[in-house]
Amino acid sequence: QQQVKQSPQSLIVQKGGISIINCAYENTAFDYFPWYQQFPGKGPALLIAIRPDVSEKKEGRFTISFNKSAKQFSLHIMDSQPGDSATYFCAAGKERTDKLIFGTGTRLQVFP
Partner 1 sequence: ETGVTQTPRHLVMGMTNKKSLKCEQHLGHNAMYWYKQSAKKPLELMFVYNFKEQTENNSVPSRFSPECPNSSHLFLHLHTLQPEDSALYLCASSQDRRATGLNQPQHFGDGTRLSIL
Least CB distance to partner 1 at residue 10 (A) = 11
> How far, in Å, CA of 62 to CA of 78, rounded?
7
- How many other C-beta atoms are found inside a 10 Å radius of the C-beta of residue 69? 5
Least CB distance to partner 1 at residue 58 (A) = 18
Cis peptide before 82 (omega within 30 of 0): no
- Of 20 and 49, the one with the shorter C-beta distance to partner 1 is 49
- Of 1 and 97, the one with the shorter C-beta distance to partner 1 is 97
Tell me the CA distances in angstroms from 21 to 35, 42, 65, 85, 87, one per residue in order: 10, 21, 10, 13, 11
Least CB distance to partner 1 at residue 16 (A) = 29
Chain residues that interact with partner 1, rule: CB under 8 A: 4, 9, 31-32, 34, 36, 41-46, 49, 51, 89, 93, 97-105
